[in-house]
């Protein structure tokens, strides 16, 4: 009774079927709830994701992501095409980090086959993966600025990404879906002068990175929009199985490159070439949007460090092992998780000795990270919801696969 007099209203049960957990909102005026379809075609949903938002004025009282608009049966295709033929499909689920997907799948198949790959191939893989991580984080950072209304950082980010893509174009001929990393190595050695250009890219990027940081990350409006918004506490992050920058933004120091090292990362980490940035709640609460974006932006510089280390230590040699043209993988199964820009990208492949995989399962980081959106969206403002969705950095190609 007192509550009603004070104007505090507990929303009726049917009005908050979308929100989870007991939440009360202090409202001056009770208005009619409005259901709003954000997407599938909406500027802020980063692809064809649809979020059904229940709003009370500017307040979001519940949100439900709807997936599947970009479903292409990637896993099923993996069970129908030959081992090598599936490689181009791996490009296409997380199309912003195709190199990392290639590596994940190739490593899973290599694990079943039990083969070692040449050291130069590993080096090239790491260089490409880290360059692609930079490119992917550039998109994450740029589109996040775009979500918050800052259009210019987006184009600056694309300017550097353009260079990164032309580097990949030189080494493998494609700009987005590379299929560069093959089972057993990489399919082509770096063309002459390529490593030098990568080095120049790193030098330039360090200068430009400072600009991004000053222009957007440190901007007071940006801080105001992201600090204390969409807070994912440490426990919630662990409960939802978040990985990648989402997890590190919540203060959990976990990175597969260091904690479950694969490829050359153990050696690189021992050499001190990179650190794992972890959110500290510097501008607001630990685990807010600012922390997540900050982790991504700082990771770009760490990736530059890794690339530098590889450029110093790369030696000539073969780039692909002795792999038959028609691959027959011995019976067995393997799960390999690698650190994608978005988190843990796991490939689980089962072979029974055939030319075709028996099972090809992908654990997509975006898919798992998106689950938390529903939880943290309710009780925020409409403008915040865009900021929160952007901060999860989902790639819809990968959530739907």
Partner 1 sequence: MVTVSRYFNNVWKSFWTTMVGMRITGRYLLQKPITVQYPDERMPIPNRYRGIHYLEQEKCIDCLACARACPIDCIEMDAVRHGKELEWISFTLDYQKCMFCELCVYPCPKDCIHMGTEYAFVTYDRSEFKHDLLSYKGMSRDAKIRMVDADKKKAEKEAAKAAKPAHEEAAESAPEEGAEDAGAE
Partner 2 sequence: MGFLQEKVAELGSGTNLIRELLAGAPRPELVPDWAIPLTAVFIGVGILLAIVSLCAMFGTWLERKVSGHIQCRYGPMRAGWHGWLQPLADGVKLLLKEDLIPLGADRVLFVIAPALVLSSILGAMAVMPLAPDFFFADAPMGVFLILALTSTTTIGVIMAGWASNSKWSLYGAMREAAQVVAYEIPLGVSLLVPLMVAGTFNLSEASAGQAGGFGIFGWYIWPVGFGTEGFSLGNPFMIPALVLVFVAVLAETKRAPFDLPETESELVAGFLTEYSGIRWSFFFMEEYAAMFLYCVVASFFFLGGFNSPLTWVFEDGGLLPNVFLFNVMAFVTIVVKGFLGMFVMMWVRWTLPRLRIDQVMTMGYKYLTPLSLLCVLGAGLWEWGKWMIVG
Give the helix/strand (H/E) hosting 369: helix 365-377
CA angle 192, 196, 197 (to 5 degrees): 95
**Burial category of 136 from C-beta neighbours within 10 Å (exposed 0-12, middle 13-18, buried 19 and up):** buried
User: Mask: binding to partner 2, 285-314, rule CB under 8 A, as x and -?
Assistant: ------------------------------
Cα–Cα distance measured from residue 152 to residue 142, given in angstroms and rounded to the nearest whole number = 8
Q: Rounded to the nearest 5 degrees, what angle is found at the Cα of 357, between the Cα atoms of 356 and 363? A: 145
Region of residue 75 (phi > 0: left; psi between -120 and 50: alpha; otherwise: beta): alpha
Q: Which is nearer to partner 1, 23 or 204 (CB)?
A: 204
The contact mask relative to partner 1 for 45-84 (x = CB under 8 A, - = no) is ------------------------------------xx-x
Region near partner 2 per CB under 8 A, out of 65-73, 87-95, 246-254, 377-385: 377-385
Residue 43 interacts, among partner 1, partner 2, none and using kind-specific CB cut-offs from 5 to 8 Å, with partner 2
Cα distance between residue 356 and residue 360, in whole Å: 10
Look at residues 144, 350, 171, 162 and name the one whose alpha carbon lies nearest to residue 249.
Answer: 144
Stretch that binds partner 2, among 192-200, 243-251, 257-265, 381-389 (CB under 8 A): 381-389
Looking at 9, 52, 111, 150, which residue binds partner 2 (CB under 8 A)? 150
Residue of the chain from 166, 196, 318, 330 that contacts partner 1 (CB under 8 A): 166
Query: Which entry of partner 2, partner 1, none binds 342, CB below 5 to 8 A by partner kind?
Result: none
Pair of tokens at residue 75: 């896993």
- Please tell me whether residue 173 binds partner 1 under the rule CB under 8 A: yes
Q: Select from 116, 203, 214, 270 the one that contacts partner 1 (CB under 8 A).
A: 214
Q: According to the 3-state scheme, what is the secondary structure of 384-397?
A: HHHHHHHHHCCCHH
| DSSP bridge partners of 65 | 51
Tell me which residue has tokens 């080095």.
199
Q: Do 267 and 300 meet the contact criterion of CB atoms below 8 Å apart? A: no
> Which region holds residue 379: left if phi is over 0, alpha if psi is between -120 and 50, else beta?
left
Q: Which SS3 state, helix, strand or coil, does residue 242 take?
A: coil
Distance CA 226, CA 284 (A): 9
Q: Would you state the structure tokens that stand for residue 367, as one six-digit string? A: 């898919």
Binding segment toward partner 2, per CB under 8 A, in 62-70, 214-222, 256-264, 290-298: 214-222
Provide the minimum distance between the beta carbon of 131 and partner 1 in the complex, in angstroms, as a whole number.
Answer: 16
In angstroms, the CA 333 to CA 76 distance is 17
Q: Would you say 25 or 213 has its CB closer to partner 1?
A: 213
Q: Show the binding pattern over residues 130-159: x = contacts partner 1 (CB under 8 A), - = does not.
A: ----------------------x---x--x
CB of 196 to partner 1, least distance (A): 15
- Does position 216 interact with partner 2 (CB under 8 A)? The reply is yes
* CB distance 214 to 354 below 8 Å: no
Single out the residue of 133, 107, 110 nearest to residue 310, CA to CA.
Answer: 133
Q: Quick one: what does residue 34 bind among partner 2, partner 1, none, with the CB cut-off 5 to 8 Å set by partner type?
A: partner 2
The count of residues interacting with partner 2 (CB under 8 A) is: 31
- Which of partner 2, partner 1, none sits in contact with 145, Cβ below 5 to 8 A by type? partner 2
Interaction partner, residue 87 (partner 1, partner 2, none; CB < 5-8 Å by kind)? partner 1
Position of tokens 């099923």?
76
Task: Give whichever of 214 and 282 is closer to partner 1, judged by the CB atom.
Answer: 214
Q: Are 62 and 43 in contact (CB under 8 A)?
A: no
Does residue 52 interact with partner 2 by CB under 8 A? no
Which residue in the set 60, 146, 172, 362 belongs to the binding site for partner 1 (CB under 8 A)?
172
Which residues here bind partner 1, judged by CB under 8 A? 81-82, 84-89, 91-92, 152, 156, 159, 166, 169-174, 177, 179, 187-188, 191, 211, 214-216, 218-221, 325
Which residues here bind partner 2, judged by CB under 8 A? 34, 36, 42-44, 57-58, 145-152, 155-156, 159, 215-216, 219, 221-222, 224-225, 381-386
């Amino acid at each position: 009774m007192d509550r009603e007099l004070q104007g505090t209203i507990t929303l009726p049960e049917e009005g908050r079927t979308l929100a989870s957990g007991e939440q009360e909102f202090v409202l001056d005026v009770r208005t009619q709830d409005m259901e709003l379809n954000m997407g599938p075609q909406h500027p802020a949903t980063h692809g064809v994701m649809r979020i059904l938002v229940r709003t009370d004025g500017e307040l979001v009282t519940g949100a439900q992501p709807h997936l599947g608009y970009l479903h292409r049966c990637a896993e099923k295709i993996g069970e129908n095409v030959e081992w090598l033929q599936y490689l181009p499909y791996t490009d296409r689920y997380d199309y912003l980090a195709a190199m990392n997907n290639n590596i994940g799948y190739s490593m899973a198949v290599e694990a079943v086959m039990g083969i070692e790959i040449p050291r130069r191939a590993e080096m090239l893989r790491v260089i490409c993966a880290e360059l692609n991580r930079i490119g992917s984080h550039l998109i994450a950072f740029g589109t996040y600025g775009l979500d918050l209304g800052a259009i210019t950082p987006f184009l600056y980010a694309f300017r550097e990404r353009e260079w990164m893509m032309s580097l990949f174009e030189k080494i493998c001929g494609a700009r987005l879906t590379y299929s560069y990393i093959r089972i057993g190595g990489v399919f082509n050695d770096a063309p002459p002068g390529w490593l030098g250009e990568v080095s120049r890219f790193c030098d330039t990027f360090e200068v430009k990175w400072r600009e991004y940081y000053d222009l957007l990350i440190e901007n007071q409006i940006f801080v105001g929009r992201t600090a204390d918004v969409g807070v994912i506490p440490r426990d919630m992050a662990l409960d939802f199985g978040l990985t990648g920058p989402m997890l590190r933004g919540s203060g959990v120091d976990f990175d597969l490159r260091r904690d479950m090292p694969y490829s050359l990362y153990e050696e690189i980490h021992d050499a001190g070439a990179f650190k794992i940035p972890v959110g500290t709640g510097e501008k607001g609460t630990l685990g807010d949007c600012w922390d997540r974006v900050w982790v991504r932006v700082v990771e770009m510089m760490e990736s530059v460090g890794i690339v530098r280390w590889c450029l110093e230590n790369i030696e000539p040699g073969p780039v692909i092992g002795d792999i038959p043209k028609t691959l027959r993988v011995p019976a067995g199964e393997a799960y390999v998780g690698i650190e994608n820009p978005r988190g843990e990208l796991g490939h689980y492949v089962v072979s029974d000795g055939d030319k075709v995989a028996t099972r090809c399962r992908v654990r997509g980081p975006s898919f798992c990270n998106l689950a938390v959106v529903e939880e943290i969206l309710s009780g925020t403002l409409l403008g915040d919801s865009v900021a929160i969705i952007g901060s999860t950095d989902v790639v819809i190609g990968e959530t739907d696969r």
